Amino acid sequence: MNESRNPSADVGTKALWLPRAAHPVSWAMLVITTLAILIVSVDAQILPTILPAILTQFHLSPTEGGWLNSLFFLGSVGGAVFFGIWSDLAGSGHRRGPTWILAYLIAVIGGFLTWLFSASFLIFQLLRVVMGFSRGGSEPTNVALISDWWQKENRGFAVGVHHTGFPFGQFLGPALMAIVLSFAGWPTVYLLIPLIGVPIIIAQLLIGTRRNEERVHEWIEGQGLTRPFGAETTTRMFKNPLEVVKTAISHRNTALSIAIIFLYLWAEIGIFSFMTLYLTKEVHLSLSVAAVVSGASGLTGWFGQVVWGTISDRIGRRPVLAVLAVGWTVSTLLLMKISSEATGWILLLFWGLFRNAPYPVAYAMLIDSIGEASGAGMGLMIGIAFGICGLIVAPVAGFFIQTWGWTADYVMLAAATLLTFVPLFFTRETVRGGKPVATEETG
């Protein structure tokens, strides 16, 4: 598809290793969306972190615990597709804000209700679906939102920085949970979601206005840079949801990006869903200590996302994803060597260098390819890759652990990351020589 660009940018504006400048509102939105991703990350970490306590309270096996985790991902499938398409129907930029707010508000309410009704296993299961619906809808609208507020030349940087909310949440979340677990039961950790979420929703209401978006776009044009998608981003609205989906799936990179992310998420979800269980049952750490150690990858995860996302703006998305595939495979295989608290810290810190890095690069490539249908494209990616993958992999990994042991499980998960080379081979590059490439292919 053709993307409208600022004419002054056609002379060959190149992305720098870091953005030479950005409008203050762009930076403010980057902070808001980064904190929003942190909520998503903390939300996703809660169940795996407290899984040993839940298995004990409700008398569940590891395989049954995997199915319980799958309810969260079941809800995320519908949430990702629904919110992703709806955010495009509403329009980009400030018009996407209400969709974003609703997605996060569901998580805030769901966290409070989980704490309130945690004694009921039936209600607990139903709320996993509800909060999964929020999780599925939050990420695609959040990624699309930050892309609406930054110049295209630095999209990889912006998406990469905003995605540091994942590693920060992966460490901060378990650390906060460990503190809560030291004086309260596991249901109380779900109150972390409303505690963090409410201030961020208020900040979005104050910053994400139409006037602020106009200021950002005027500044981008004045700098000779490329507006996010085109000259009509503040007014144009898709009227037909089928057209939104058609635009999203028309480019080959959509399906290939979904396949790449599916394989990475297969490995990641398979690892973190049972990491706390591994550390408590096999390494014999206490639940509170295991909770902190399990989040160690968050301390290094931000580095991989910012560095590789920024590099992809310069040398292209495909070569970066190829390097990350190798690093992911090696670091995953090394996790089977965790045998103590010390080795847990070392190997999880190493895994963190690669754990989150492929996502902002692949997301940027997808948004580069489909432009104004980015919400729908991200919704399809999160719904299919995250939702369906999560629905399947937790029970499969639990079965591997229960039947063949931890080593077989890690080998199976590492094989998935190595397979990313297959769809990567067929993707079309969207950045060359530091310049965005106008993608015109539609099939």
What does the alpha-carbon distance between residue 372 and residue 370 come to, in Å, rounded to a whole number?
A: 6
Q: What pLDDT score does 443 carry?
A: 41
Mean pLDDT, residues 273-293: 87
Mean pLDDT, residues 57-78: 79
Supply the pTM of this predicted model. Answer: 0.71
Which residue is associated with the tokens 């950045």?
A: 431
Mean pLDDT, residues 24-38: 89
Mean pLDDT, residues 56-78: 80
What does the alpha-carbon distance between residue 21 and residue 89 come to, in Å, rounded to a whole number?
A: 31
Pull the structure tokens for residue 62: 């590891």
Q: What pLDDT score does 306 carry?
A: 81
Q: What pLDDT score does 239 carry?
A: 53
436 by DSSP, 3-state: which? strand
Which domains are seen in the chain, by residue range? Answer: 21-436 (1.20.1250.20)
pLDDT at 313 over 80: yes
Which residue is associated with the tokens 């037909």?
A: 240
Give the model confidence (pLDDT) of 330-354 as tens digits.
Answer: 999 999 999 999 999 999 999 999 9
Mean pLDDT, residues 347-372: 88
Beta carbons within 10 angstroms of residue 344's beta carbon: 24
**CB-facing half-sphere around the CA of 386: CA atoms within 13 A:** 29
pLDDT at 278 over 50: yes
Mean pLDDT, residues 204-230: 84
Q: Which of 73, 51, 41, 46 is nearest to 398 (CA)?
A: 51
Q: List the alpha helices (DSSP H) in 149-251.
A: 155-162, 165-181, 192-207, 210-222, 241-249
How many helical (H) and strand (E) elements, i.e. helices and strands, does the chain have?
19, 2
What does the alpha-carbon distance between residue 392 and residue 388 come to, in Å, rounded to a whole number?
A: 6
User: Torsions phi, psi of 432, nearest 5?
Assistant: -140, 130
What does the alpha-carbon distance between residue 358 and residue 361 come to, in Å, rounded to a whole number?
A: 5
Q: What pLDDT score does 300 carry?
A: 86
